[in-house]
Structure 1
Amino acid sequence: MTTTLPPRAGSDFAALSRRITAAGLLRPRPGYYAFRLSTVALALVGGWAAFLAIGASWWQLPVAVFLAVVYAQVALVAHDLAHRQVFRRRRPSEVAGLIAGNLAIGMSYGWWMDKHTRHHANPNHEDLDPDVAPEILIWSREATVGRRGLVRFVNAYQAYLFFPLLTLLGLSLRRSSVRALARGGIRRRGLESVLLGTHILGYVAALVFVLSPLQAVAFLVVHQALFGVYLGCTFAPNHKGMPTPDGTDDFLRKQVLTSRNVSGGPFVDVALGGLNYQIEHHLFPSMPTPNLRRAQPIVRGFCAELGVPYCETGLVASYGEALRHLHEVGAPLRQ
């Protein structure tokens, strides 16, 4: 679960928190999560059941597309579990998170939770937020220094390559998971390794024993590529291109100014798993997903009272802002 130090008594966040609490928006929503977890689990089981029933056929490609969507929804459920939105106690959250993350989609729950906790504590901070650390993509002009060869080319044109690179995100997450477990330092490392290994072996065995070699390769490419694109698209609009904190803002301003909400109605709510209410989520990480929509007018109104900018765009516009930022960052490398 992401944790932050409580702000001092009388802070702006404390005043907002009292309004949110009075509205009952921090209370659990067991009925909602029972339905959501059951639906996602049935979709996952149904997808693999269809895979086995269809057998060696090119009709497996639509199954690969379906499972890519389901895998991303499982990842979004694991995100809510990590924030203890589903269960308030650590143990059931951890058990369900290990099943959803390691066993169901092949991503280390412990590694991701540590990474995501650091992101929540310091969103968009170039040194402390691992989500904007300079790797394949860079998010600040300072990070252009020393880029050479193929990496320099990629960063120079990263706005154009952003979506193609997302096709590799699923494989990158698994690689990072395996490396983190090999290094150690993760709670329940042995259990995580067994569950992750079970997923990988089961996945490979399913492709090898059910499909022809060419069909197996096609299924792997379609499934993993679309999973990466979908998952990346759920996180890309949230902070990319937003201001970098300077260390002087209080908790409320640090979270609001670095986050971007995405409008779009029920479809966007489901597709992005509630992450389109990124401002409310960062202010209240343990708030159940269905309550974020109800919290939005309270948070937006409170920010207006304080004169704190509250950023919200449409879905397409949010990607446009992120891509423009990537293009501007890469400008020195194109000269």
Structure 2
Amino acid sequence: MIQSEVRIRSFRSQPRNLRGSVMMKIEEKHAANGSLVGTSQLPLGEKHQANDKPEENGKAQVSPKQEADGKGDTPRKSLNLYSWQEIQRHNQKTDQWLVINRKVYDVTSWADRHPGGRRVLNHYAGEDATDVFRAMHLEIDIARLYLKPLLIGELAPGEPSQERNKNAQLVEDFQELRRTLEAMNMFSANLGFFSLHLIQILILEALAWLMLWHFGNGWPITICISFLLTISQAQSSFLQHDTGHLSIFKKSKWNHLMHRFVMCHLKYGKKKIKYIDYEKQHLYFYMVGLPLLMPVYFNLQSMQVMYLGRYWRDIVWVSSFYIRYFITFGPFYGIFGTVLLIYLVKFLESPWIACVTQMSHIPMKMSREENRDWLSTQVLATCNVEQSFFNDWFTGHLNFQIEHHLFPTMPRHNYQKVAPLVRSLCAKHGLQYVTKPILKAFGDIVRSLKKSAALWMDAYYET
């Protein structure tokens, strides 16, 4: 692959010129497509039929690292050649093909075993999944090993690397940006940052225990330690959120949740069942969504996922949380009182987490039909909240939701450094990069729900 001649070290030595240097690098014309396509050893007219099986013999041995970097030199005679028209026909739940780095994979049989769930593969069936694959897999070499048995062919030499409706230059620029960030070690965690975060959590819990030990378990002390434990629990949730981002759906997980909410409304509306007053859904958010998101929805969903997936290690870790609570606070409140304390803390934490997560998702565009590139999809589906020390702490750096979605394996302490580069790339390609004050973001949740409710009411009465 032909490498760009712009040097990466200028980013480290001249931070004030970081943005301009990156954009110069992104705008350079490089020959990435040539390295991906290569030279076919078969004339295009001699390509195999779509239903033929690829030959097993004659394949060159390619290391996982070479294949992950797109440098493998697998002989073309062992692979079928496909057009985008053929690939896009395989976009059903029972027939799913993906394209990653111009290679075509049949993931139909793998979908049920996919660690991220089959819905992720459903979203990208019949499409190019190169960027989302790179974004969501931290260990690319290992992921490539799972892909090898699913390889059935590659794009024909005359086919573009992405579907024709996508902006090839935008995709190329984003991939160049990612390579730059990797060279700058933006995906490496700062252990000091997370150690301080953990110390904060431990101090809050120790302070709560000391207050109980010294002042007793009266109501004023119970309320006070509940707020301390709520802060500790919310910050712990943000810390756990850093360990793995599972929103690898084509649209964000939150938008998917709201999509189900919308479809539920429309389903009852079509049946003329008037049990739900659509115009009051913003009140449902306050009365149901805020207090019950953490103690009910997330708790039940987590238990269901862990049990059905037989994730025994996760079950042990979750159990250790409750065991620790009973050991720490059981002597003061007993078993029943400790259970009540746990759920009091979860009820107090729930509005905090609900507002922080929903402020960047509900007001944004939600669509499952449009086939867009990875950058455009995430920028349209999420928004940022203005940066400040308080906003960073209060949101667990989820005020940088755009960067969080684009680079879900990136440690959150690097979002602020990456944001100017993403904003510049969006400006270059005419994408709206939305940033709001935190109070306006909270208010937009309600305004968005009221606006969509009015639209649903109009549709309901017209049908």
TM-score (norm 2): 0.55
The residue type equivalent to 1:121 in the other structure is F
Q: Secondary structure at the match of 2:205?
A: helix
Relative to structure 1, the CA distance from residue 206 to residue 164 in structure 2 (aligned partners, 3 Å threshold; closer, same or farther) is: farther
What is the CA-CA distance between 1:316 and the residue it aligns to? 1.3
Find the aligned partners of 1:70 and 1:257 in 2 and give their Cα distance: 32
Structure 2 vs 1, CA of residues 318 and 206 (structure 1 numbering), >3 Å: closer, same or farther? same
Q: Does the 8 Å CA contact 1:167/1:228 hold for their aligned counterparts?
A: yes
User: Could you tell me the percent identity over the aligned residues?
Assistant: 22
Closer/same/farther in 2, CA of residues 285 and 195 from structure 1, 3 Å limit: closer
Amino acid at match of 1:323: V
Query: Does residue 69 in structure 1 map to residue 69 in structure 2?
Result: no
Of the structure 1 ranges 141-150 and 267-276, higher mean CA displacement relative to structure 2 is found in 141-150
Instruction: Provide the C-alpha distance between the structure 2 equivalents of 1:298 and 1:235, rounded to a whole number of angstroms.
Output: 23
| Match status 1:315 vs 2:438 | yes
Find the partner of 1:272 among 366, 391, 395. Answer: 395
1:218 Cα offset (Å): 7.5
What amino acid sits opposite 1:308 in the alignment? Answer: L
Over 3 Å counting, the alpha-carbon distance change for 1:267 and 1:177 in structure 2 is: same
Change beyond 3 A, Cα 1:30–1:60: same
The corresponding residue for 1:78 is 240
Give the CA deviation at 1:239: 1.3
What is the match of residue 4 of structure 1? 132
Given that 2:325 and 2:338 are in contact with CA atoms closer than 8 Å, whether structure 1 keeps it comes out as no
SS in 2 for 1:145: helix
Using a 3 Å threshold, how does the CA distance of structure 1 residues 57 and 214 change in structure 2: closer, same or farther? farther
Q: What amino acid is aligned across from residue 352 of structure 2 in structure 1?
A: Y
Residue 257 of structure 2 is matched in structure 1 by 131
State the alpha-carbon separation in 1 of the partners of residues 448 and 234 from structure 2. 25
Counterpart Cα distance in 2 of 1:275 and 1:329: 25
Write 1 or 2 for the structure with the bigger share of strand: 2
Partner residue of 1:330? 453
Report the counterpart of residue 56 of structure 1 in structure 2: 217
Instruction: Tell me if structure 1 keeps the 8 A contact 2:259–2:366.
Output: no
1:242–1:259 Cα contact (<8 Å) kept: yes
After superposition, the C-alpha distances for 1:89-114 in whole angstroms (9 at most, x for unaligned) are xxxxxxxxxxxxxxxxxxxxxxxxxx
| SS at 2:377 equivalent | helix
Q: Which residue of 2 aligns with 1:87?
A: none
AA in 1 matched with 2:294: G
Number of paired residues? 290
Distance 1:201 1:248, change over 3 A: same
- What is the Cα deviation at residue 326 of structure 1? 1.1
Relative to 1, partners in 2 of residues 1:34 and 1:253: Cα closer, same or farther, differing over 3 Å?
same
Residue pair 2:384, 2:434 contacting (<8 A) in 1 also: yes
Q: Return the offset for 1:219.
A: 4.6
User: What is the rounded CA distance, in whole Å, between the counterparts of 1:11 and 1:33 in structure 2?
Assistant: 33
TM-aligned CA deviation for residue 5 of structure 1? 1.3
> Quick one: distance in 2 between partners of 1:45 and 1:149?
51
Corresponding residue of 2:418 = 295
CA distance in 2, matches of 1:330, 1:146: 14
Deviation of residue 317 (structure 1)?
1.2
Structure 1 CA distance for aligned equivalents of residues 409 and 249 of structure 2: 14
CA 63–180 in structure 1, closer or farther in 2 if over 3 Å, else same: same
- Tell me the CA shift for residue 11 of structure 1: 2.1
Q: Where do 5+ consecutive residues of structure 1 fail to align? A: 84-116
In the TM superposition, what whole-angstrom CA distance separates every residue of 1:273-299 from its partner, at most 9, and x where no partner exists? 111011111111122212111111111
Higher relative contact order (CA 8 A, sep 6+): 1
- Residue of structure 2 in register with 1:38 after alignment: 199
- Report SS of the residue matched to 2:132: coil
Q: Partners in 1 of 2:408 and 2:399 — Cα distance?
A: 13
| Structure 1 counterpart of 2:348, from 205, 226, 249 | 226
Match of 2:266 among 137, 144, 150: 144
CA displacement, residues 313-335 of structure 1 (integer Å, 9 cap, x when unaligned): 11111122221221123234597
Moved more, 289-298 or 325-334: 325-334
CA deviations over 1:66-123 (Å, ceiling 9, x no partner): 111110100000011225xxxxxxxxxxxxxxxxxxxxxxxxxxxxxxxxx2x23322
SS at 1:240 equivalent: coil
Going from structure 1 to structure 2, the CA distance change for 1:149 and 1:216 (only over 3 Å counts) comes to: farther
**CA-based RMSD:** 3.3
1:195–1:299 Cα change, 3 Å: closer
Q: Which has the higher helix share?
A: 1
1:174 matched residue in structure 2: 299
**1:15-42 CA distances to partner (integer Å, 9 max, x unpaired)?**
2213433544333322222222222233
Partner of 1:285: 408
For the pair shown, the structure with the greater C-alpha radius of gyration is 2
Q: Is the 8 A contact 1:25 1:287 kept in 2?
A: yes
Secondary structure at the aligned position of 2:134 is classed as: coil
Distance in structure 2 (CA, Å) of the matches to 1:214 and 1:142: 37
